């Protein structure tokens, strides 16, 4: 179905507040075209632009994409370097248009393994969008769900040790206040491309009640219409949160 037709099916009153996406399949897409993996990652970056545009058109509140996991450090050095450079390149190329659309962009994840100069360069670019009030676009970069929970527990441990809080003060709200995603609503919808049926250590605390939507499409082939397909399917589900 065409994008405009699908758009008419969207119920603006039942929109997910937060959509998270595992962008999988760049490498396989490149392999099919007898290209190297970085060629696939570059094509995947173009798909990201489309999805941001879609989020803006739908007045989506939050959109988070899984760009680089804490496990991705195990990949070949050349691919890691290429991914790190691609983020800088993508932001430098797209930030002006992103800013003009009132989109706020921030990184979500740890700093381990990343040079401070690299982080400073990215954040300087992204900071031009931080006062924007439209789509809140988050890039999960150097992110792992278990890593996220572990670092939150360590922060809480330090506060207990200092006497700032007691063990009895620990609850869901306290943990969430120490996660990388502090201040963000949990995802309502989690999309994964490439036919894989797992969440791969992505937002594992936050997606506890998210609706999952999988597609066989490889990420570079994912379009605005696919995004709308996922949202229409989401809107036809009955979310009970454990109730009847």
Task: State the catalytic residue, choosing from 72, 101, 132, 178.
Answer: 72
226 flagged as catalytic: no
Choose the catalytic residue: 24, 148, 188, 226.
24
The Cα diameter of the chain in Å comes to 59
In the block, residue with structure tokens 């066989």: 216
Whether 11 is catalytic is no
Rounded CA-CA distance 115/138 in Å is 20
Angle, to 10 degrees, between the axis of helix 77-100 and the axis of helix 116-126?
A: 20
- Count Cβ atoms within 10 A of the Cβ of residue 228 and give its class: 0-12 exposed, 13-18 middle, 19 or more buried: buried
Catalytic residues: 24, 72
């Amino acid at each position: 179905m065409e994008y405009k037709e699908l758009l008419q099916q969207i119920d603006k009153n039942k929109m997910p507040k937060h959509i998270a996406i595992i962008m999988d399949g760049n490498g396989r897409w490149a392999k099919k075209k007898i290209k190297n993996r970085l060629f696939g990652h570059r094509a995947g970056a173009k798909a990201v632009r489309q999805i941001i545009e879609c989020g803006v058109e739908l007045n989506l509140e939050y959109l988070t994409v899984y760009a680089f996991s804490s496990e991705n450090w195990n990949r070949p050095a050349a691919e890691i370097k290429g991914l790190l450079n691609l983020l800088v390149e993508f932001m430098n190329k797209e930030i002006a248009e992103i800013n003009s659309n009132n989109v706020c962009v921030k990184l979500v994840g740890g700093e381990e393994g990343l040079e401070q100069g690299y982080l400073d360069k990215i954040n300087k670019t992204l900071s031009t969008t931080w006062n924007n009030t439209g789509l809140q676009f988050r890039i999960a970069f150097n992110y792992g769900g278990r890593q996220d929970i572990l670092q939150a527990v360590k922060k809480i441990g330090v506060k207990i040790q200092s006497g700032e809080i007691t063990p009895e003060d620990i609850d869901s709200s306290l943990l969430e206040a120490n996660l990388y995603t502090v201040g963000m609503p949990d995802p309502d919808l989690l999309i994964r491309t490439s036919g894989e049926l797992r969440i791969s250590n992505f937002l594992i605390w936050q997606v506890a009640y998210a609706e999952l939507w999988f597609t066989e499409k490889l990420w570079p082939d994912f379009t605005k219409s696919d995004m709308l397909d996922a949202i229409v399917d989401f809107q036809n589900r009955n979310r009970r949160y454990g109730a009847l």
